[in-house]
Structure 1
């Protein structure tokens, strides 16, 4: 089955075309993506553990959800869609920054993304999609930072890159 197209962008996040998602990851082409971070009223971050069947970063801990915008879809609409599809809830989200990263995986795929990071607050029920998520939990940031220090290989590469900027935005020290 063909995977959906992603939006190819330049370094200024200007759309320059589309490409099938797997082909973009095989070629390491810069494309638009998003990452959603969720906190609760206690200030804890929601982590999900990616399903063991995912095509990369399977079984690793990461932020609430990540994905790609469809051609013609806004970042906000895509973020709400995937939060519902992956975690079974939706909430108000605000984009807090964007960054670019490139990372090669052992399976020959490369993530080269212009990643829009969104933040929301949620305290209700979570109904994760088992095809996307095998576990989830809220943790205080100090505990997450300790886990990253002691078990860095249990977290996704984009989480390592985005978390310090998210904490800076939230005025929480990352060291």
Structure 2
């Protein structure tokens, strides 16, 4: 089934369920419809973050660098459960427990496709070894890279169009001591 026809949960600014929609409909211009999403950050013991460059076929922000994976839970599916499935689908990584860092509410229009991201984005942190077994799906991921958190924060300021527009807000939820655990 085409991912654009999957159902997402529409929510209010407070994250309370108000309905459902297809992915395609939720991302229509000019405003998009606020819906539940998740962003997974993966960190290694040295505090580096795994980034993926989104595949060219993505309908929103193709070829931009983003967090390890992101997606939308189907209505009624717990966020951590949906995130674990998506992490496996995109990167082939399984068995990662998540810490919930918070929610990043944002809206961004993709200048290349006109599609709109308007998301109530649950940010999850998983800890993995840098040699974690991966099998990136080329239909989802162009490439991956481990980056130092401070270098990423700097890049988000100096060259923001290189990155997905949600990434700065997602990374801002990382605790200062996240790499020390």
TM-score after normalising by structure 2 = 0.88
Contact 2:34–2:118 (CA<8 Å) still a contact in 1?
yes
In structure 1, how many angstroms separate the alpha carbons of the residues matched to 2:105 and 2:153? 22
Unmatched segments (≥5 aa) in structure 1: none
Counterpart in 2 of 1:61? 65
Give the one of 42, 52, 55 matched to 1:51.
Answer: 55
1:13-32, aligned counterparts within 5 Å?
13-26=15-28, 28-32=32-36
- SS state at 1:7 partner: strand
User: Measured at CA, do residues 170 and 120 of structure 1 come closer, stay the same or move farther in structure 2, by a change above 3 Å?
Assistant: farther
Taking the aligned partners of 1:148 and 1:31, their CA distance within structure 2 comes to 24
The Cα of 1:142 is off from its aligned counterpart by 2.1
**Counterpart for residue 87 of structure 1:** 91
Distance 2:148 2:114 in 1: 34
Q: Which residue of 2 is the match for residue 4 of structure 1?
A: 6
Q: Which residue of 1 is the match for residue 42 of structure 2?
A: 38
Q: CA separation in 2, counterparts of 1:10 and 1:149?
A: 29
Give runs of aligned pairs for residues 124-143 of structure 1, distance below 5 A: 124-143=132-151
**Residue aligning to 2:116:** 110
Q: Runs of 5+ in structure 2 lacking a partner? A: none
Question: Can you list the C-alpha shifts for 1:40-86, whole angstroms capped at 9, x where unaligned?
Answer: 11110110000011111100101000100012211011010001111
- More displaced, 139-148 or 93-102? 139-148
Q: CA RMSD in A?
A: 1.5
CA distance in 2, matches of 1:46, 1:140: 9
Closer, same or farther in 2 for the Cα pair 1:99/1:145, shift >3 Å? closer
Q: Deviations over 1:101-139 (max 9, x none)?
A: 111222222111100000010111121111100100111
Separation (CA, whole Å) in 1 of partners of 2:73 and 2:36? 7
Name the SS of the counterpart of 2:105 in structure 1: strand
Q: Label 1:74 to 1:102 Cα distance change in 2 as closer, same or farther (>3 A).
A: same
Q: Distance in 1 between matches of 2:176 and 2:69?
A: 18
